């Protein structure tokens, strides 16, 4: 009896370990596949893109994380969208537009695109490659906020009543790592726009 | 439980080992591809959005 209980406990422990491995690495397989699809979509876009839920918006690059760091940003921030990659908040500004371009991404699961955004410091670059132009944002600050602090999404981040005159970017992910207790917010402002040559 | 399982596997030690390995692989595959994807949404260790 005792032996069976022991064996069951050990088995349960092993299954839990396996589940953790699945969360950290197994979930990324789906994201990887979706990213290939979304990035292909981005490559095919010629005219101005039509933004639709679940479709690609633009390519996100962060030079600090190396040349290989690039993710297709998907439209939408529901669970199904964030599984595909970093998601753009519907209704917030589009890349380069006046207002706030807000993108949320996973920090530990589903390829963990925003795993290292806590390393972004003032003046680091965040590049958004859209169909019409390359927008380079400059990081201005990093904050830790409560999960219901929706002011960070406003057109002027943190000032819901102000009218925007500049193009901002906001990245959000979970904080601390492996927890849903708070959110890590990285803010930036548009520094340079390079229109694509036809 | 495992003792009984081991004794009920047929054949010599080699065959038992092989059968055990296959059983473990099947169990892992079922968990990984069928059970874990169902459980995953219930785990909210990676909530990334800000909302009311």
What is the value of ipTM here, to two decimals? 0.91
Interface contact B4, partner A, CB < 8 A: no
**Domain definitions of chain A by residue range:** 2-195
* Percent with pLDDT over 90 in chain B: 75
Q: Is A15's CB within 8 Å of B31's CB?
A: yes
Q: What is the mean pLDDT of chain B?
A: 93
Residue A183 · residue B50 · CB < 8 Å: yes
Count Cα neighbours of B23 within 13 Å in the Cβ-side half-sphere.
11
Q: Collapsing DSSP states into helix, strand and coil, what is residue B11?
A: coil
Count Cα neighbours of B13 within 13 Å in the Cβ-side half-sphere.
0
Q: Is A104's CB within 8 Å of B36's CB?
A: no
Give me the mean pLDDT over the B28-47 stretch: 92
The residue of chain B with its CA nearest to that of A108 is: B46
- pLDDT at position A145 is 97
Which among B32, B48, B52 is the nearest to A148, CB-wise? B52
* Mutation for A interface: B3, B40, B50, most A CBs within 10 A: B50
Q: A165, exposed or middle or buried, with CB in 10 Å at 0-12, 13-18, 19+?
A: exposed
Does residue B23 surpass a pLDDT of 60? yes
Interface of B with A in 6-45 (CB under 8 A): 28, 31-32, 36, 39-41, 43-45
Tokens of A117: 């955004």
CATH of A2-195 among 2.40.260.10, 1.20.1290.10, 2.60.40.10, 2.60.120.10? 2.40.260.10
* Mutation for B interface: A10, A16, A26, A78, most B CBs within 10 A: A26
A183 Cβ contact partners less than 8 Å away, ≥ 6 residues apart: A144, A145, A146, A147, A149, A152, A172, A173, A174, A175, B48, B49, B50
- pLDDT at position A171 is 98
pTM of the model: 0.91
A170 Cβ contact partners less than 8 Å away, ≥ 6 residues apart: A100, A101, A102, A103, A152, A153, A157, A185, A186, A187, A188
**Domain definitions of chain B by residue range:** 2-37
- Which parts of chain A sit beneath pLDDT 50? none
The Cα of A118 is separated from the nearest Cα of chain B by a number of Å equal to 13
* Mutation for B interface: A13, A80, A174, most B CBs within 10 A: A174
């Amino acid at each position: 009896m005792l032996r069976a209980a022991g064996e069951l406990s050990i088995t349960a422990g092993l299954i839990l370990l396996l589940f953790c491995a699945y969360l950290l690495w197994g979930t990324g397989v789906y994201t990887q596949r979706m990213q290939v699809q979304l990035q292909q979509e981005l490559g095919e876009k010629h005219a101005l893109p039509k933004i639709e839920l679940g479709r690609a918006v633009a390519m996100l690059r962060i030079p600090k994380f190396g040349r290989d760091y690039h993710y297709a940003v998907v439209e939408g921030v529901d669970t199904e969208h964030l599984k595909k990659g970093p998601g753009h908040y519907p209704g917030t500004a589009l890349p380069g537009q006046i207002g706030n371009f807000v993108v949320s991404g996973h920090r530990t699961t589903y390829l963990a695109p925003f795993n290292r955004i806590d390393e972004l410091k003032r003046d680091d670059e965040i590049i958004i490659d859209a169909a019409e132009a390359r927008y380079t944002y400059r990081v201005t600050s990093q904050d830790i906020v409560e999960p219901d602090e929706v002011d960070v999404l406003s057109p002027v981040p943190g000032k819901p009543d102000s009218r925007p005159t500049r193009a901002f970017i906001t990245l959000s992910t979970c904080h601390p790592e492996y927890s849903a207790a708070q959110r890590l917010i990285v803010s930036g402002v548009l520094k340079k726009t390079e229109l694509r040559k036809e | 439980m495992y003792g009984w399982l081991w004794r009920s596997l047929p054949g010599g030690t080699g065959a038992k080992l092989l059968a055990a390995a296959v059983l473990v692989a099947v169990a892992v595959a079922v968990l990984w591809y069928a059970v874990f994807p169902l459980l995953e949404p219930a785990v909210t260790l990676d909530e990334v959005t800000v909302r009311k």
